[in-house]
């Protein structure tokens, strides 16, 4: 028996089929040993623990790796499927998802709180307050030394340098930061001087932004009587406070642009309004001048007593003609009433006699057509004794019992 000689490609192909079909996709925890974010958009790395290491590839994962700020030495959790790269005969983990160690638990807590507060209606659009168009005082709850504050103040200074800004200093990350941030919102609500509150910080990892996902801060935002803008992180970052706040903007700079609007637009709008108002006033003034000139030259202003006397004479003539018309109408109506009364009386007697005669004739004809008179002439009425329905045709089954009603009495019949 000839022994099979395998090619290397055949061996690798067999191993590929064996490995890839033997294990389902899995989660694994490891340390990033080597890392190469290729210009193609794929990520190649080595995953290791204290005893072993293996190659891994994350196709089209460059954007996510950069957003996670992935680097050598990071502890990560990866989800993927074992595959074989046949060209080199190497097996590797083909990654589908990647996250820092512990992020899974944070994500679970995030989704759990989100569902809870959404069920309570804290995300409902109906409860959100309107952001003022141009507030006089802006309150900020943030870290006073952060880049978010500097960007915010630069935009405000450029657009409305005289706008009043109040800052409540609070840590924006770390243990207990959520309590300080909530205290800042409650402070401005007690003071009552701010028109809008901006809750802000710059970007960061999910762990850095976690205070903004805590329930105590979310409920403080929801309970605020002053409108709250959430400007936390970058455009791709979402926190629980974003959903509860009256408005979410992607960055602190966007928050500054929103609360101040555009100064140039306000100035242009004021200029247009002033121009329209001047044109309207000039038109109205000219219209009034024309009306005054026409009125001053009218007959009313030259001889006003003449107009009054004409109206008095017209009223006297109207009263006289009205009295004559009323008297004439009264006489005509009295005569018409007498004529109509006589006619109605004669017509009523004639109609009554005619109706009585017609009624007698109809009564006689009705009696002649009555069932009893018909039965007197030898006719009978057949009925089904069970249903009491009248039989109108001969399509009756043999042996069926019928009942005949005669002028005097009834007869029981059987169909043959």
Last residue of a domain, one of 245, 263, 281: 263
Helix (H), strand (E) at residue 260? helix 252-260
In a domain, 153, yes or no: yes
pLDDT for position 345 = 67
Q: Is residue 25 domain-shared with residue 120, that is, in the same domain?
A: no
Distance CA 345, CA 356 (A): 17
Distance CA 270, CA 261 (A): 14
pLDDT for position 339 = 66
Distance CA 230, CA 123 (A): 13
Say if residue 149 is exposed, middle or buried (CB neighbours under 10 Å; 0-12, 13-18, 19+): buried
pLDDT for position 296 = 63
Residue where the block lists tokens 């507060």: 117
Distance CA 343, CA 161 (A): 98
Q: What is the CATH number of the domain that holds 27?
A: 2.40.50.140
Residue where the block lists tokens 């409920």: 219
Q: Is residue 196 domain-shared with residue 254, that is, in the same domain?
A: yes
Q: Is residue 254 domain-shared with residue 149, that is, in the same domain?
A: yes
Distances (CA, A) of 174 to 106, 140, 200, 205, 278: 14, 19, 15, 12, 59
Q: Is residue 218 domain-shared with residue 140, that is, in the same domain?
A: yes
Q: Is residue 149 domain-shared with residue 251, that is, in the same domain?
A: yes
Distance CA 276, CA 292 (A): 24
Q: Is residue 142 domain-shared with residue 205, that is, in the same domain?
A: yes
Say if residue 182 is exposed, middle or buried (CB neighbours under 10 Å; 0-12, 13-18, 19+): buried
Q: Is residue 156 domain-shared with residue 258, that is, in the same domain?
A: yes
In a domain, 149, yes or no: yes
Domain total in the chain: 3
CB 242 within 8 A of CB 230: yes
In a domain, 291, yes or no: no
In a domain, 127, yes or no: yes
Lookup: tokens for 320: 């006289």
In a domain, 311, yes or no: no
Q: What is the CATH number of the domain that holds 139?
A: 3.40.50.280
Stated pTM of the model: 0.47
Q: Is residue 85 domain-shared with residue 130, that is, in the same domain?
A: no
Q: Is residue 111 domain-shared with residue 246, that is, in the same domain?
A: yes
CB 206 within 8 A of CB 214: no
CB 214 within 8 A of CB 177: no
Distance CA 148, CA 150 (A): 6
In a domain, 295, yes or no: no
Q: Is residue 48 domain-shared with residue 142, that is, in the same domain?
A: no
Last residue of a domain, one of 241, 263, 285: 263
pLDDT for position 320 = 75
Q: pLDDT means per 10 residues in the chain (416 residues)?
A: 81 81 86 92 93 92 87 90 86 89 76 93 92 86 86 81 87 91 95 90 83 94 94 81 91 78 68 83 80 67 60 74 74 66 67 73 66 72 83 81 82 82
DSSP per-residue letters across 292-341 = HHHHHTSHHHH-HHHHHHHHHHHHHHHHHHHHHHHHHHHHHHHHHHHHHH
Tell me which residue of 104, 77, 78, 65 sits closest to 207, measured CA to CA. 104
Q: Is residue 156 domain-shared with residue 80, that is, in the same domain?
A: no
Last residue of a domain, one of 54, 84, 101: 101
Cβ contacts of residue 23 below 8 Å, gap of 6+? 81, 82
Can you give the residue range of the structural domain that contains 390?
374-414
CB 172 within 8 A of CB 181: yes
In a domain, 332, yes or no: no
In a domain, 301, yes or no: no
Q: Is residue 52 domain-shared with residue 175, that is, in the same domain?
A: no
C-alpha 32: how far from chain center: 46
């Amino acid at each position: 028996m000839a022994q099979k000689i395998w090619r290397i490609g055949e061996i690798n192909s067999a191993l590929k089929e064996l490995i890839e079909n033997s294990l389902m996709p899995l989660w694994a925890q490891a340390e990033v040993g080597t890392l190469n974010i290729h210009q193609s958009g794929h990520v190649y790395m080595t995953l290791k623990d204290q005893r072993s290491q293996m190659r891994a590839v994350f196709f089209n994962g460059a954007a996510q790796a950069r957003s996670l700020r992935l680097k050598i030495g990071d502890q990560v959790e990866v989800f993927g499927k074992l595959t074989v790269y046949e060209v080199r005969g190497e097996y590797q983990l083909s990654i589908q998802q990647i996250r820092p160690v512990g992020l899974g638990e944070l994500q679970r807590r995030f989704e759990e709180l989100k569902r809870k507060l959404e069920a309570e209606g804290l995300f409902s659009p109906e409860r959100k307050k309107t952001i003022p168009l141009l507030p006089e005082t802006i309150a900020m709850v943030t870290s006073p030394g952060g880049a978010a504050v500097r960007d915010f103040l630069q935009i405000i200074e450029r657009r409305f340098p005289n706008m009043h800004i109040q800052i409540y200093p609070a840590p924006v990350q770390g243990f207990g930061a959520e309590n300080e941030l909530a205290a800042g919102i409650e402070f401005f609500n007690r003071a009552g001087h701010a028109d809008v509150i901006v809750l802000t910080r710059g970007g960061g990892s999910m762990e850095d932004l976690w205070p903004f996902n805590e329930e105590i801060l979310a409920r403080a935002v929801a309970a605020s009587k002053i409108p709250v803008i959430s400007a936390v992180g970058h455009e791709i970052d979402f926190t629980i406070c974003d959903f509860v706040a009256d408005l979410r903007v992607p960055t602190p700079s966007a928050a500054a642009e929103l609360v101040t609007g555009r100064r140039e637009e306000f100035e242009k709008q004021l200029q247009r309004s002033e121009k329209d108002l001047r044109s309207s006033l000039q038109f109205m003034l000219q219209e009034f001048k024309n009306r005054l000139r026409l009125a001053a030259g009218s007959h009313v202003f030259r001889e006003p007593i003449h107009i009054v006397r004409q109206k008095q004479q017209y009223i006297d003539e109207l009263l006289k003609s009205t009295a004559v018309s009323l008297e004439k109408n009264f006489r005509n109506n009295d005569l018409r009433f007498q004529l109509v009364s006589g006619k109605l009386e004669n017509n009523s007697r004639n109609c009554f006699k005619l109706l009585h005669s017609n009624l007698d004739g109809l009564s006689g004809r009705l009696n002649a057509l009555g069932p009893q008179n018909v039965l007197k002439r030898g006719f009978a009425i057949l009925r089904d004794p069970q249903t009491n329905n009248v039989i109108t045709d001969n399509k009756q089954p043999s042996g069926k019992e019928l009942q005949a009603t005669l002028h005097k009495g009834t007869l029981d019949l059987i169909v043959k």
